Amino acid sequence: MSGTTMVVVIVAIVMGCVLEMSRHWARSGRKHSKDTEAALEQLRQENAKLAERVATLETIVTDRGFDLDQQIRKLG
């Protein structure tokens, strides 16, 4: 086998390995992407619920009646 033929065979083998690795990486990337999207959507929903709760708590704390109630409790 000549040197040129050996180089061509080695390059072909390496390219085949690289191609197979990239296919495997692409398949596993899609799999994780679906899982990641589901987790991301769940976190978005949880974040929206928490933002709503914080807004409710801010409304309660900034209400004048809440401040008056705190002052009355301090006196008693």
Q: What is the pLDDT of residues 41-54, one digit of tens each?
A: 999 999 999 999 99
Per the CB < 8 A criterion, the answer to whether 60 and 66 are in contact is yes
What is the tally of structural domains in the chain? Answer: 1
pLDDT category, 74, cuts 50, 70, 90? confident
Per-residue confidence (pLDDT) for residue 32, from 0 to 100: 65
Residue range of the domain that includes 47: 3-75
Tell me which of 42 and 70 has the higher pLDDT: 42
Tokens found for residue 29: 């990337």
CA distance 56 to 76: 27
On whether the pTM is more than 0.75, the answer is no
